[in-house]
Structure 1
Amino acid sequence: MRRRIWNRIYQEFGLWSLAAPPGILVLVLVILIRMVGGMQSWEWMFLDTMLRLRPREKLDERVVIVGIDEKDIEWVKQYPVPDGKIAELLTKLETYKPLAIGLDIFKNVPVEPGGAQLAKVWQQNTNIISIEKILPPKEIYSVRSLPPEQIGFVDLLNDADSKNRRYLLYTTNPKNYRQDKYSLALQLVNRYLKSKNLELETGKNDPNTIMIQGIELPRITDNFGGYVGINDRGGGLSILMSFRNSHQPFTVVSLRDILNDKNENVYTKLLRDRIVLVGNRNLSVGDIFYTSALPTLELKGQIYGVDYHAHVISQILSTVIDGRPMLHSWGDMEEYTWIVIWGFLPIIIGRFTQSVWRNLLSVGLAGVCLFSYSDVMLWLWGIWIPVAPIFLILAVNGVGLSAFTFYQHDQFLRSQINERQNTIQRTFTLIHNGPLQTLAYGLKHIRAKDVPDQQLLGQFEKLDREIREIGEFLKLETLTKQEILRLGSGLILELNRPLHDLLYEVYSSTLERKDFENFKNLKVKTRNFDPIDDKYLTMEHKREICLFMEEALCNVGKHAEGAKRVQATGIYSENQYNLCVKDNGSGIQSNLENKGTKHSKLLARQLRGEFRRESLSSGGTICELSWRPKKGF
Structure 2
Amino acid sequence: MQRRIWNRIRQELGLWSQAAPPGIMVLVVVILIRIAGGMQSLEWMLLDTMLRLRPIEKIDDRVVIVGIDEQDIQWVGQYPVPDEKIAELLTKLETYQPLAIGLDIFKNVPVEPGGEQLQQVLQKNRNIIGIEKILSPGETPPPQNLPPDQIGFVDLANDEDGKNRRYLLYTSNPKNLTEDKYSLALTLIIKYFKKKGININSGINDPNTIMFNRVELPRITKNFGGYVNVDDGGLSILMNFRNNSQPFIVVSLQDVLNNKVDENLLRDRIVLVGNRNMSAGDLFYTSAVQKLELRGVIYGIDYHAHVISQVLSTIIDGRPMLHSWVDIGEYSWIFIWGFLPMVIGRLTQSVWENLLSVAVAVLCLFGCGYVMLWVWGIWIPIAPNLLILALNGLGLSAFAFYQHDRFLRSQISERQNTIHHTFTIIHNGPLQTLAYGLKHLRAQDIPYEQLVGQFEKLDREIREIGEFLKLEALTKEESLRLGSGLILELNRPLHDLLYEVYSSTLERQDFENFKTLKVKIRNFEPMDDKYLTQEEKRRICLFLEEALCNVGKHAQGVKRVQASGIYSVNKYKLSVKDNGSGIQSKSESKGTRNSKILAKQLGGEFRRESLSPRGTICELSWTPMRRF
Q: Same fold by TM (over 0.5)? A: yes
**Which residue is 1:369 aligned to?**
364
The answer on whether the counterparts of 1:477 and 1:484 sit within 8 Å (CA) in structure 2 is no
Q: Does 1:258 align with 2:256?
A: yes
1:552-577 Cα offsets, whole Å, 9 max, x none, are: xxxxxxxxxxxxxxxxxxxxxxxxxx
User: Is the partner of 1:168 in helix, strand or coil?
Assistant: strand
User: Is the partner of 1:135 in helix, strand or coil?
Assistant: coil
User: 1:144 is matched by which residue type in structure 2?
Assistant: Q
**Which residue is 1:21 aligned to?**
21
**Which residue is 1:351 aligned to?**
346
Q: CA deviation at 1:462?
A: 10
Equivalent of residue 244 in structure 1, options 228, 242, 245? 242
Equivalent of residue 288 in structure 1, options 283, 286, 290? 283
The answer on whether the counterparts of 2:19 and 2:404 sit within 8 Å (CA) in structure 1 is no
* 2: CA distance, partners of 1:485 / 1:465: 26
Q: Does 1:64 align with 2:64?
A: yes
* 2: CA distance, partners of 1:111 / 1:56: 40
User: 1:240 is matched by which residue type in structure 2?
Assistant: L
**Which residue is 2:394 aligned to?**
399
1:139-163 Cα offsets, whole Å, 9 max, x none, are: 0111231001111000000001100
* 1: CA distance, partners of 2:305 / 2:64: 8
**Which residue is 2:324 aligned to?**
329
Pair 477,379 (structure 1): closer, same or farther in 2 beyond 3 Å: farther
The answer on whether the counterparts of 1:292 and 1:301 sit within 8 Å (CA) in structure 2 is yes
The answer on whether the counterparts of 2:168 and 2:236 sit within 8 Å (CA) in structure 1 is yes
Pair 9,165 (structure 1): closer, same or farther in 2 beyond 3 Å: same
* 2: CA distance, partners of 1:85 / 1:356: 71
* 2: CA distance, partners of 1:422 / 1:79: 94
Q: Does 1:473 align with 2:467?
A: yes
* 1: CA distance, partners of 2:118 / 2:479: 111
* 2: CA distance, partners of 1:138 / 1:71: 29
**Which residue is 2:292 aligned to?**
297
The answer on whether the counterparts of 1:329 and 1:385 sit within 8 Å (CA) in structure 2 is yes
User: Is the partner of 2:312 in helix, strand or coil?
Assistant: helix
* 1: CA distance, partners of 2:264 / 2:71: 25
**Which residue is 1:117 aligned to?**
117
The answer on whether the counterparts of 1:151 and 1:184 sit within 8 Å (CA) in structure 2 is yes
* 1: CA distance, partners of 2:158 / 2:123: 34
Q: CA deviation at 1:381?
A: 1.0
Q: In angstroms, what is the RMSD of aligned CA positions?
A: 4.5
**Which residue is 2:95 aligned to?**
95
* 2: CA distance, partners of 1:350 / 1:474: 39
Pair 14,333 (structure 1): closer, same or farther in 2 beyond 3 Å: closer
Pair 485,291 (structure 1): closer, same or farther in 2 beyond 3 Å: closer
Question: What aligned pairs does 1:570-589 form with structure 2 within 5 A after superposition?
Answer: none
* 1: CA distance, partners of 2:286 / 2:181: 25
Q: Which moved more, 1:136-145 or 1:162-171?
A: 136-145
Q: Does 1:48 align with 2:48?
A: yes
* 2: CA distance, partners of 1:12 / 1:468: 36
The answer on whether the counterparts of 1:360 and 1:402 sit within 8 Å (CA) in structure 2 is no
The answer on whether the counterparts of 2:346 and 2:398 sit within 8 Å (CA) in structure 1 is no
Q: CA deviation at 1:350?
A: 2.2
**Which residue is 1:387 aligned to?**
382
* 2: CA distance, partners of 1:10 / 1:209: 52
User: Is the partner of 1:198 in helix, strand or coil?
Assistant: coil
User: Is the partner of 1:349 in helix, strand or coil?
Assistant: helix
Question: What aligned pairs does 1:593-632 form with structure 2 within 5 A after superposition?
Answer: none
* 2: CA distance, partners of 1:340 / 1:274: 47
Q: CA deviation at 1:391?
A: 1.0
Q: CA deviation at 1:78?
A: 1.0
Q: CA deviation at 1:415?
A: 8.9
User: Is the partner of 1:170 in helix, strand or coil?
Assistant: strand
**Which residue is 1:165 aligned to?**
165
1:375-417 Cα offsets, whole Å, 9 max, x none, are: 1111111111111111111111101134445666777888999
* 1: CA distance, partners of 2:377 / 2:256: 37
User: Is the partner of 2:280 in helix, strand or coil?
Assistant: coil
Q: CA deviation at 1:464?
A: 7.4
User: Is the partner of 1:177 in helix, strand or coil?
Assistant: strand
User: 1:246 is matched by which residue type in structure 2?
Assistant: N
User: Is the partner of 1:47 in helix, strand or coil?
Assistant: helix
User: Is the partner of 2:170 in helix, strand or coil?
Assistant: strand
* 2: CA distance, partners of 1:21 / 1:376: 33
User: 1:324 is matched by which residue type in structure 2?
Assistant: R
The answer on whether the counterparts of 1:473 and 1:486 sit within 8 Å (CA) in structure 2 is no
Q: CA deviation at 1:470?
A: 4.7
**Which residue is 1:270 aligned to?**
265
Q: Which moved more, 1:10-19 or 1:99-108?
A: 10-19
User: 1:126 is matched by which residue type in structure 2?
Assistant: R
Q: Give the aligned length.
A: 480
Pair 12,169 (structure 1): closer, same or farther in 2 beyond 3 Å: closer
Q: CA deviation at 1:135?
A: 0.5
The answer on whether the counterparts of 1:355 and 1:405 sit within 8 Å (CA) in structure 2 is no
Pair 477,259 (structure 1): closer, same or farther in 2 beyond 3 Å: farther
User: 1:337 is matched by which residue type in structure 2?
Assistant: S
User: 1:318 is matched by which residue type in structure 2?
Assistant: S
The answer on whether the counterparts of 1:367 and 1:394 sit within 8 Å (CA) in structure 2 is yes
Pair 465,346 (structure 1): closer, same or farther in 2 beyond 3 Å: same
Pair 17,281 (structure 1): closer, same or farther in 2 beyond 3 Å: same
Question: What aligned pairs does 1:199-218 form with structure 2 within 5 A after superposition?
Answer: 199-218=199-218
Question: What aligned pairs does 1:455-466 form with structure 2 within 5 A after superposition?
Answer: none
User: Is the partner of 2:222 in helix, strand or coil?
Assistant: coil
The answer on whether the counterparts of 2:346 and 2:402 sit within 8 Å (CA) in structure 1 is no
User: 2:259 is matched by which residue type in structure 1?
Assistant: D
User: 1:239 is matched by which residue type in structure 2?
Assistant: I
* 1: CA distance, partners of 2:103 / 2:12: 74
Question: What aligned pairs does 1:475-624 form with structure 2 within 5 A after superposition?
Answer: 475-476=469-470
1:432-458 Cα offsets, whole Å, 9 max, x none, are: xxx9xxxxxxxxxxxxxxxxxxxxx99
The answer on whether the counterparts of 1:46 and 1:388 sit within 8 Å (CA) in structure 2 is yes
User: Is the partner of 1:178 in helix, strand or coil?
Assistant: strand
1:251-310 Cα offsets, whole Å, 9 max, x none, are: 0011111112224xx2x0100010000111111111111111111211111111000000
User: 1:40 is matched by which residue type in structure 2?
Assistant: Q
Q: CA deviation at 1:16?
A: 4.8
**Which residue is 1:34 aligned to?**
34
* 1: CA distance, partners of 2:348 / 2:236: 46
* 2: CA distance, partners of 1:386 / 1:459: 80
User: Is the partner of 1:43 in helix, strand or coil?
Assistant: helix
Q: CA deviation at 1:422?
A: 12
User: 2:202 is matched by which residue type in structure 1?
Assistant: T
* 2: CA distance, partners of 1:389 / 1:72: 48
1:13-34 Cα offsets, whole Å, 9 max, x none, are: 7965543111111111111111
Pair 168,406 (structure 1): closer, same or farther in 2 beyond 3 Å: same
User: 2:244 is matched by which residue type in structure 1?
Assistant: S
The answer on whether the counterparts of 2:171 and 2:234 sit within 8 Å (CA) in structure 1 is yes
Pair 459,125 (structure 1): closer, same or farther in 2 beyond 3 Å: same
User: 1:156 is matched by which residue type in structure 2?
Assistant: L
* 2: CA distance, partners of 1:270 / 1:187: 21
Pair 143,484 (structure 1): closer, same or farther in 2 beyond 3 Å: closer
* 1: CA distance, partners of 2:21 / 2:298: 47
* 2: CA distance, partners of 1:322 / 1:328: 17
The answer on whether the counterparts of 2:344 and 2:398 sit within 8 Å (CA) in structure 1 is no
* 1: CA distance, partners of 2:11 / 2:235: 59
Q: CA deviation at 1:211?
A: 1.1
The answer on whether the counterparts of 2:80 and 2:111 sit within 8 Å (CA) in structure 1 is no
Q: CA deviation at 1:190?
A: 0.5
State the identity %. Answer: 63
Pair 41,474 (structure 1): closer, same or farther in 2 beyond 3 Å: farther
Q: CA deviation at 1:58?
A: 0.7
